[in-house]
């Protein structure tokens, strides 16, 4: 791979960022040579399987089970189950160009023969600025937040409908068939998904609308029958240990990485719960010893929050164990979800981790009058009467 490589030049214009600092051609070239001189097989020892019990069962389950969380909601457009998507992603990341694009210095100019730069530099999704970037004890911070949420005066949360609008930002992989039956990733496609979900609070009927803005605009809508509108059991237990046990469900995968799956469950349920319900769920999350606190942070909408993260592990097609972290950003007064970040490690020594995608809560709450889902009437509204 060199400066004339088509894939390198395509990647370099994915996400123009006019205000980013240009990377010097010398830095890019030095990094490229470093990557090419360090074969992946020499680094497998640094990616050994974690010592968490049940990792064998975890790998088996991961190959069969899609990632939990917002991608599982309804029947809207979804990316592939993580194991398949990860394998393709790792093929793309094996090239030096992609490693540079997604994290060595955060930006990469469009490099042409001779080292000139033309368009504004491309940038991976930037990491947020956490008060505790290296992380501190998570359970203690969660218990403190639970106490704070419980003590705060709860806002009025009532209405005939629950409505939530989220925005998902990330990348999809575009593939081409290079020979019969053999496909390769030729470029990454920036995507922005708008997700609208609502339900009627008496019978839990509702609807969902997904709109994807990528190379092509895609839409998908679903009308949800009575009892199907809520994304999580509407009557969660009122004790932290009972919530913890409900999420674990004698599942080896969940038990090996409890914090990750509790964060996932909290993300799905919290914004529709009462403030007391959120405080209790936070205490359940505090029972997991694999949660890290990243302290205060400003989310991508400019809102103040507090961040907690936990990881799960997958094994890619090269036999390397890959850590995938989910970072939950919460309103410090109400415990509501503001944003969720999905973070992958960067294989290059000393390089920052990579934000693969983020899930931003744009609007959420109970209301008596249902707003439109973007520019259209929400699916199922006519049936609700």
pLDDT value at residue 236: 84
Using alpha carbons, select from 20, 4, 383 the residue that is nearest to residue 207.
383
pLDDT value at residue 265: 94
Extract the tokens encoding 364.
């959420």
For residue 231, pLDDT over 50 is answered with yes
pLDDT tens digit string along 158-171?
899 999 999 999 98
Edge-to-edge strand list for the sheet holding 304-315: 136-137, 292-298, 304-315, 321-330, 337-344, 354-367, 161-179, 182-200, 206-213, 217-224
More confident residue, 230 or 359: 359
Using alpha carbons, select from 17, 328, 312, 345 the residue that is nearest to residue 190.
17
Per-chain mean pLDDT for the chain: 73
Domain ranges of the chain: 6-123, 136-384
Cβ contact 194:156 at 8 Å: no
pLDDT value at residue 234: 61
Cβ contact 176:189 at 8 Å: no
Q: Mean pLDDT across the stretch 360-380?
A: 92
Q: Mean pLDDT across the stretch 3-7?
A: 46
pLDDT value at residue 333: 94
Using alpha carbons, select from 69, 66, 61, 8 the residue that is nearest to residue 358.
69
**pLDDT tier at 260 (50, 70, 90 boundaries)?**
very high
Cβ contact 165:363 at 8 Å: yes
pLDDT tens digit string along 296-318?
999 999 999 999 999 999 887 78
pLDDT tens digit string along 23-34?
565 655 555 554
Instruction: For residue 26, report the phi and psi dihedrals to the nearest 5 degrees.
Output: -65, -40
For residue 63, pLDDT over 70 is answered with no
Using alpha carbons, select from 246, 241, 240 the residue that is nearest to residue 261.
246
The H or E element spanning position 194 is strand 182-200
pLDDT tens digit string along 239-251?
999 999 999 987 8
pLDDT tens digit string along 79-111?
332 322 333 232 333 232 333 333 333 333 332
For residue 197, pLDDT over 90 is answered with yes
């Amino acid at each position: 791979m060199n400066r004339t490589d088509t894939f390198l030049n395509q990647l370099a214009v994915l996400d123009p960022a006019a205000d980013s600092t240009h990377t010097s051609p010398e830095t890019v070239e030095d990094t490229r040579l470093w990557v090419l001189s360090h074969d992946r097989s020499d680094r497998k020892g640094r990616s050994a399987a974690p010592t968490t019990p049940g990792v064998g069962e975890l790998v088996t389950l991961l190959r069969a089970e899609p990632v939990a969380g917002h991608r599982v909601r309804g029947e809207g457009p979804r990316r592939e189950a993580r194991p398949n998507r990860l394998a393709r992603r790792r093929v793309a990341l094996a090239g030096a160009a992609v490693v540079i694009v997604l994290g060595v210095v955060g930006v990469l100019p469009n490099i042409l023969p001779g080292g000139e730069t033309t368009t504004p530099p491309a940038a991976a999704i930037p990491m947020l600025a956490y008060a505790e970037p290296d992380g501190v004890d998570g359970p203690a911070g969660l218990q403190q937040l639970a106490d704070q949420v419980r003590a705060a005066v709860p806002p009025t949360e009532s209405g005939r409908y629950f409505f939530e609008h989220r925005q998902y930002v990330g990348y999809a992989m575009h593939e081409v068939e290079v020979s019969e039956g053999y496909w390769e990733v030729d470029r990454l496609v920036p995507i922005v998904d708008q997700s609208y979900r609502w339900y009627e609070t008496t019978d839990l009927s509702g609807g969902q609308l997904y709109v994807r803005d990528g190379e092509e605009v895609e839409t998908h809508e679903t009308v949800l029958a009575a009892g199907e509108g809520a994304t999580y059991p509407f009557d969660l237990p009122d004790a932290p240990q009972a919530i913890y046990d409900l999420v674990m469900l004698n599942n080896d995968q969940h038990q090996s990485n409890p914090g990750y799956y509790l964060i996932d469950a909290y993300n799905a349920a919290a914004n529709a719960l009462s403030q007391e319900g959120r405080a209790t769920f936070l205490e359940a999350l505090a029972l997991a010893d694999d949660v890290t606190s990243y302290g205060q942070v400003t989310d991508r909408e400019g809102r103040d929050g507090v961040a907690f993260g936990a990881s799960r592990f997958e094994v890619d097609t090269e036999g390397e164990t890959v850590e995938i972290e989910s970072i939950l950003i919460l309103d410090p007064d109400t415990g509501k979800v503001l944003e969720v970040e999905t973070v992958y490690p960067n294989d290059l020594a000393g390089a920052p981790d990579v934000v693969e995608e983020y899930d931003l809560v744009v609007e959420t709450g109970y209301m008596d009058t249902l707003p439109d889902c973007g520019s259209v009437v929400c699916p199922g509204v006519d049936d609700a009467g």
